[in-house]
Structure 1
């Protein structure tokens, strides 16, 4: 496989940016030819708290997600490195982008992982649960449908939000499959679920106006939540016209992926 050209940068954090002391918490990798925008963050707070003291984990996670959304919006508007460099230079808040450097690689996902481990690392103490996207991928692979889904392009919505789902398939509408862990405390889990419900509603409305309907499918890990909470999330998703599946019961989704693959192969 021939090498593609791209660029990367460190993502850095400081609760006191006026002190000009920042800690590396993630990596950004962009491959314009592949329309690839990859961001990988460290999952713990040990490195940050060693330098800056105790930090509220939920607020830190919200800050990281908001920063990721802003970066993707800027890049998707114009795959121009000069614009990204200008955006990076203007950042003077708690989160910032380091100097952007060129890179050449064959596989952007692999390159992102290698850059992360080389430049940031993950030396947090404790056992990390695997990402829910990884768990979903393993379920797709075990069921033999991993080749029946694809990685969709990120979708930028007029509201300034980017939906960057890991999987998609066609069944009349173009279904974007996102996965989220909802096993935090109920307030944080509800905030994550609500965010995706609203984004799914926006996605459907925007895509219908363009004449190419998109549907958001959310797979949630709610194994530690009470049944009443699960029912409430399911009802909220329905109200926003978002399809919802629990991670421990994705067989109906897998069956639909198989069915639609057969239908579309017959049409073609």
Structure 2
């Protein structure tokens, strides 16, 4: 059986009014250097979104998250950030921001399969 590997993750939060510091979890980003894995999974509940914000379009937030996904994939459409190494892309995405999309502090862990772990974290913290 293969050994467990280290990983880091952060919870993605929607913060509609940054000055009020109110948020709800909408996704997870996970990085494992040894497995060369960087993944993101997100879902925005439209009812919760509408309850939190009436001046931000769901479509815009979804487009921002799609851009984050392109960065994770290292796709050319991910721009200069998408061209960086996996660890640098993760650090850039998980960095503190004062925007409507923010990440929690990063948390470490051990896992066998980063993709399965990403799914489990998503179920625990978002769904």
Q: TM-score per shorter chain, which class?
A: 0.7 to 0.9
Distance apart, 1:78 and its partner CA: 3.7
Check whether the contact 1:75–1:84 (CA below 8 A) recurs between aligned residues: no
Distance apart, 1:77 and its partner CA: 1.9
Distance apart, 1:117 and its partner CA: 0.5
- Relative to its length, the structure with more helix (as a share) is 1
Check whether the contact 2:7–2:110 (CA below 8 A) recurs between aligned residues: yes
Q: Closer, same or farther in 2 for the Cα pair 1:60/1:75, shift >3 Å?
A: closer
What residue number does 1:215 align with? none
Deviations 1:121-149 (A, max 9, x none): 1xxxxxxxxxxxxxxxxxxxxxxxxxxxx
CA distance in 2, matches of 1:29, 1:23: 18
What residue number does 2:84 align with? 77
What residue number does 2:78 align with? none
TM-score by length of 2: 0.76
What root-mean-square deviation, in Å, do the aligned CA atoms of Structure 1 and Structure 2 show?
Answer: 2.7
Q: Closer, same or farther in 2 for the Cα pair 1:87/1:37, shift >3 Å?
A: closer
How many aligned residue pairs are there? 119
What residue number does 1:109 align with? 115
TM-score by length of 1: 0.39
Larger radius of gyration: 1
Q: Closer, same or farther in 2 for the Cα pair 1:75/1:66, shift >3 Å?
A: closer
CA distance in 2, matches of 1:86, 1:56: 21
- Which structure is richer in relative contact order (CA contacts within 8 A, separation 6 or more)? 2
CA distance in 1, matches of 2:86, 2:60: 30
Unaligned runs of 5+ in 2: 75-80
CA distance in 2, matches of 1:24, 1:34: 26
